[in-house]
Amino acid sequence: MPDWLNQYWIVIVIAAALGVLAVVFLVPRRDTRPPIDNAAPRKPLEPRRPDIAPARRNEFARDTSPEAAEAQGQMPPPVVTAPPTAKVRDVGPADNLSRMKGIGPKLVTRLGELGVTRFEQIAAWTDADIDRIDASLGTFNGRIRRDDWVEQSRLLAIGDTAGFEAKFGALG
């Protein structure tokens, strides 16, 4: 082996490695994806609910009054009231609200600040009460209806553990 090769073999190996890296990164790769046909016109998106007038399409609120339902030929929504067995008690020891699905320690604290400490109180909530409490829950907004707190608390207030577990799963 020549003398200069023994002397500079490390430099030669490094130069070869740099050459391979340069080829890998600097030589453009061939694109294997099919070309996009930008010449074809795109069909405009259709609204999901074409039966809704364009002026009402972006509104979230719907008129659910019995008069509006009657005008549209629909049945009015049922009026939900608290069961007669769930009487609201203002005094007494607080219930463990964290037994309900969707209520953790932070929500128990926030509900306590709002004066809600018993299952009977939640079971007796009207839609107006739900809207008022929901607006003050901050990042937990929407949990009352999504997790059906009124039904959960109604079952827990009357002590129907089996009914609760059948509908919502094991108690927390």
pLDDT tens profile 39-98:
666 666 666 665 655 555 445 556 666 666 666 666 554 554 444 433 444 566 888 998
* pLDDT at position 25: 84
Please give the DSSP secondary-structure letter assigned to residue 77: P
pLDDT score recorded for residue 81: 45
CA nearest to 153, candidates 91, 99, 92, 81: 99
Look at residue 16 in the predicted model and tell me its pLDDT: 95
* Gap between the Cα atoms of 60 and 56, Å rounded: 8
Looking at residue 49, its pLDDT comes to 61
- What the block records as the tokens of 150 is 């009124």
Place of tokens 């609204």: 47
Instruction: Please determine, for residue 157, whether its predicted confidence score (pLDDT) is greater than 70.
Output: yes
Would you place residue 29 in the very low, low, confident or very high pLDDT band (cuts 50, 70, 90)?
confident
Structural domain spans, the chain? 97-168
Cα-Cα-Cα-Cα dihedral sign, residues 124, 91, 142, 156: negative
Distance between CA atoms of 10 and 22, rounded to whole angstroms?
18
Closest-CA residue to 137 (of 1, 146, 165) = 146
Q: How many CB atoms sit inside 10 A of residue 168's CB? A: 18
pLDDT 10s digits, 97-140: 989 998 999 999 999 998 999 999 999 999 999 999 999 888 88
Question: How many residues does the structure list for the chain?
Answer: 172
Tokens coding 71: 């005008």
Question: Global pTM?
Answer: 0.47
* pLDDT surpasses 80 at 30: no
Residue 96 · residue 171 · CB < 8 Å:
no
**CA dist., res. 3 & res. 122, Å (int):** 92
- The 10s digit of each residue's pLDDT in 163-172 is 888 888 887 6
Return d(Cα 77, Cα 107) in angstroms, integer.
30
pLDDT at site 85: 37
